[in-house]
Each structure stands twice: as structure tokens, then as C-alpha cells.
């Protein structure tokens, strides 16, 4: 406040930290969080619109993978991989709308380029061995399935028991796929 200037208590407030007059309108603009709430609402609306933009629907439960994937594993591993990986890493049925709102799902084409269970039978044994090792690594580290995907598709989250099953499988598979010395 300038010396000699009258203070209008209705339009200013004294800042407790600095003792300076702060216009109330500025305080509300900066500190009320309306901008953050607005951004969150817009982001949610965008994700819902992106997820609902397709007419295709899939049952909420994980369906068995198509027979033509060529991915063979014991039934437990196959069930885990189907439920947690196939939406992004296989050319299966279209995902449910709520799965398609996860940002990581938007990049599923690049995920299929990295690993496509639908083409598993076409991979040579060296490629399959590399992929099995990679699966074990990303599951152990908790990098797959991605957290944003599991938020909208909680059934894809892996329990510690499921991680152990997948890791045991990767150890067995790696041993059987690698050539003997």
C-alpha cells in the first residue's frame, strides 16, 4: 500500500507472510484450484470420449486368446498373459471401452511391434528366448502391465503369486529355448 492511500478492506487483504496488501481477486485466481479442477475435468472428458469413440465392444472378462496366436504355455501362464498382456500385445478382439482410455493402450500398435503374441509362432527360437527373458524382466520390475492400464483394467494387475508363476515359466522356457553348449 502506498503512503497516504486509503485501504479498501473489501478489495484487499494483508498477506500474512509479507504484510503487503494483496488484491482479493488475484488471491482467488491463483489459490482456489479452479484451474486444476477444470483441467482434470477436461482430461477425464477427453479420455471418456476417446474410449467411447469406437463402436466395437468386448466382454469385460478376459476371453481366451484366439487359437491362431501360436503362443503356447502352461494354462496358468497363458491365462495370466491373456488377461494382462493381450489387449496391447496381440491382435485379439477389440478391448472394452474402459481399457481404451488408458494412455498406454493408445500406443498398443508400437507395443505389438515390440512383442506380438499373435505372431509368436512366426518368431524363431532365438527371438522367442529374447522375448521370454524380456517378459520375465518387465514383470519382475513391475513395468508391465503399465500402471495406467491397470487403473482402468484392474484385472490385469499381477499379484505376487502370478509374477512368481510367470517368472518360473520364463526360467523354464529360457532354458528350453536356448541352444545347448
Block residue for cell numbers 529360457: 174
Q: What is the pLDDT of residue 174?
A: 78
Q: What is the pTM of this model?
A: 0.58
Q: What is the pLDDT of residue 62?
A: 44
- Positive or negative, the Cα torsion across 146, 152, 153, 158? positive
Q: What is the pLDDT of residue 74?
A: 84
Tens of pLDDT along 79-117?
A: 999 888 888 888 876 667 767 777 777 777 788 888 999
- List, for the chain, all residue ranges whose pLDDT scores fall below the cut of 50: 27-28, 51-68
Q: What is the pLDDT of residue 57?
A: 35
Amino acid at each position: 500500500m502506498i503512503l497516504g492511500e486509503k485501504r479498501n478492506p473489501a478489495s484487499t487483504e494483508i498477506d500474512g507472510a509479507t504484510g503487503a496488501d494483496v488484491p482479493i481477486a488475484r488471491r482467488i485466481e491463483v489459490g482456489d484450484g479452479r484451474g486444476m479442477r477444470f483441467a482434470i475435468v477436461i482430461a477425464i472428458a477427453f479420455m471418456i470420449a476417446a474410449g467411447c469413440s469406437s463402436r466395437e465392444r468386448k466382454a469385460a472378462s478376459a476371453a481366451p486368446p484366439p487359437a491362431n496366436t501360436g503362443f503356447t504355455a502352461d494354462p496358468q501362464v497363458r491365462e495370466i498373459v491373456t488377461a494382462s498382456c493381450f489387449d496391447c500385445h496381440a491382435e485379439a478382439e477389440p478391448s472394452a471401452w474402459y481399457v481404451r482410455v488408458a494412455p498406454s493402450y493408445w500406443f498398443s500398435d508400437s507395443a505389438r511391434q515390440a512383442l506380438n503374441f499373435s505372431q509368436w509362432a512366426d518368431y524363431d527360437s532365438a527371438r522367442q528366448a529374447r522375448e521370454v527373458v524380456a517378459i520375465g524382466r518387465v514383470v519382475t520390475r513391475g513395468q508391465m502391465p503399465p500402471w495406467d492400464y491397470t487403473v482402468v483394467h484392474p484385472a490385469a494387475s499381477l499379484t505376487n503369486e502370478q509374477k512368481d508363476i510367470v517368472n518360473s515359466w520364463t526360467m523354464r522356457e529360457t532354458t528350453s529355448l536356448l541352444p545347448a553348449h
